[in-house]
Structure 1
Amino acid sequence: MKKIHDQYNELLSHTCKVISESKTQQLLDGLVYSAICRATKKGIFEFVSKMLEVDLRFIWRYDDEKIFSILYSRDMMMKYYSLTCLLDVNGNSVLHMAGMMEHSTRVNQIPGAALQMQRELQWFKEVERIVHPKDKESTNNNGFTPRQLFTQNHEKMMKEGEKWMKDTATSCTVVGILIVTIMFQVAFTPPGDNNRDPGLFRVFMISDALSFFLSSTSILIFLGILTSRYIEDDFLKNLPRQMIIGLFTLFCSIATMMITFSSALLIILNEQLRISIPLICLGGVPIFFFLWIQFPILKDMIISTYGPGIFDRKMKLKL
Structure 2
Amino acid sequence: MRNPLIQAAENSIQELVEKILEKFPEAAYTIDRNGKNIFHIAVEQKDEKMYEFLKRNVRRDGMVEALDNDGNTILHLATKKGNSPRVHLGHLNQMAWDAYWLKRIWYDSPTHFLYLQNTAGKTPNEIFEENHSDLRVKAEKALKDMNNGLMLFSALIGTVNYAAIFTIPGGIDQDRKSTNFSHPTLYHSNHETDLLLFLWYTGGGLFSSFVALVTMVAIQLSRFCSNDFYMALPIRYVVALTAIFVSTVFTTNACFKAYDIMDIKFNVDVLYGTGIFRVEPCLLRHHIPDSELHNSLENVINFLAELTNIGHSHCALTEGKCTRQLNQKECQCYFINWREGR
Q: Residue in 1 aligned with 2:7?
A: 34
Aligned partners of 1:115 and 1:158: how far apart in 2? Answer: 11
Give 2:165's match in structure 1, choosing from 187, 204, 225.
187
**Take 2:131 and 2:165, find their aligned partners in 1: how far apart are those partners?**
52
Q: What secondary structure sits across from 2:2 in the alignment? A: helix
1:196-207 maps to which residues of 2 (within 5 A)?
Answer: 197-207=191-201
Shift of 1:99: 0.9
CA contact (8 A) 1:95 1:128 kept: yes
Shift of 1:155: 1.1
1:236-258 deviations in Å (ceiling 9; x for gaps): 11111111111101100000000
**Taking structure 1 as the reference length, what is the TM-score of the superposition?**
0.68
Q: Amino acid of the residue matched to residue 47 of structure 1?
A: K
Quote how far apart the aligned CAs of 1:67 are.
2.5
Match in the other structure for 2:290: none
Aligned CA-pair RMSD: 2.7
* 8 A Cα contact 1:114 1:165, kept in partner: yes
Whole-Å separation in 1 of the counterparts to 2:127 and 2:58: 30
Answer yes or no: is the 8 Å Cα contact 1:92–1:140 preserved in 2: yes
Aligned-pair CA distance for 1:231: 1.4
Could you say which residue in structure 1 is the equivalent of 2:18? 46
> What TM-score results when the alignment is normalised by the length of structure 2?
0.64
Q: Name the residue aligned to 1:231.
A: 225
The secondary structure found in structure 1 opposite 2:202 is helix
Provide the C-alpha distance between the structure 1 equivalents of 2:215 and 2:194, rounded to a whole number of angstroms: 31
For structure 1, which runs of at least 5 residues remain unmatched after alignment? 1-25, 279-319
Give the stretch that moved more between structures: 54-63 or 137-146. 54-63
The aligned residue for residue 55 of structure 1 is 28
- CA–CA separation in structure 2 for the residues paired with 1:263 and 1:192: 13
Q: 1:99 aligns with which of 65, 75, 79?
A: 79
> Residue 80 of structure 1 corresponds to which residue in structure 2?
63
Hey, which of these two has a bigger chunk of helix by percent? 1
Whole-Å separation in 2 of the counterparts to 1:156 and 1:190:
51
Say which one has the larger Rg.
2
Q: Report Cα offsets for 1:213-252 as digits up to 9, x if no partner.
A: 1101110010000001111111111111111111101100
- Do the aligned partners of 2:115 and 2:124 also contact (CA within 8 Å) in 1? yes
Contact 1:33 1:58 in 2 (8 A): yes
| Residue 46 of structure 2 corresponds to residue 71 of structure 1 | no
Cα 1:197–1:68 change in 2 (3 A) is: same
**What secondary structure, in the 3-state scheme, does the structure 2 residue paired with 1:127 have?**
helix
Per-residue CA deviations over 1:250-294 (Å, capped at 9, x if unaligned) read 1000000000111111222x153x44999xxxxxxxxxxxxxxxx
Which structure has more relative contact order (CA 8 Å, sep 6+)? It is 1
In structure 2, the CA distance between the partners of 1:243 and 1:131, relative to structure 1 (3 Å rule), is same
